[in-house]
Amino acid sequence: MIKKVDHIGIAVRSLDEALPFYTEILKLPLLGIEEVESEKLKVAFLKAGETKLELLEPTSQESAVAKFIEKRGEGLHHVALGVDSIQERINEMKEKGIRMLQDSPKIGAGGAEVAFMHPKSTGSVLYEFCEKKGLEQ
């Protein structure tokens, strides 16, 4: 089942340039910065009450986020829904005719298992399912 909005992903060209708005103006606590090699991203998580904001800086032109920024500019990238039993959720969506970008979860930021729904199946919103087994933030 879907438990909550786990985080909202925001594409930025540079974490260094984007972070002061969040940490100094909005005064959101920075939970950490990590590199997600497989996605060619540097990711910063900020705590926003019960949910989080995930700033995504591409580390290579090959990154899907780099292509997103090239096409649409910086800004809202995806909405992540926290789920349990992610593989079951993926199977369930596929049974309902929803296109998934992954047939099985991959490891994303923070060691979470993630899978994305195809925006063509969701009214143009990129939704991520994410499940953190025993690593609740």
Spatial distance between the Cα atoms of 3 and 8, rounded to a whole number of angstroms: 14
- The DSSP element (H or E) to which 115 belongs, if any, is strand 113-116
- Least distance to Zn ion, CB of residue 128, Å: 5
Cβ distance to Zn ion smaller for residue 48 or 95: 48
Phi and psi, residue 121, nearest 5°: -95, -5
- Least distance to Zn ion, CB of residue 17, Å: 20
Cβ distance to Zn ion smaller for residue 80 or 100: 80
Cβ distance to Zn ion smaller for residue 9 or 105: 9
Phi and psi, residue 20, nearest 5°: -55, -35
- Least distance to Zn ion, CB of residue 25, Å: 23
Phi and psi, residue 124, nearest 5°: 75, 15
Question: Where on the chain is the footprint of Zn ion (CB under 5 A)?
Answer: 9, 54, 80, 128
Per-residue tokens: 106: 């991959």
- Least distance to Zn ion, CB of residue 76, Å: 12
- Of residues 109, 116, 22, 14, the one with CA closest to residue 59: 14
* Amino acid, single-letter form, for residue 66: A
Cβ distance to Zn ion smaller for residue 93 or 108: 108
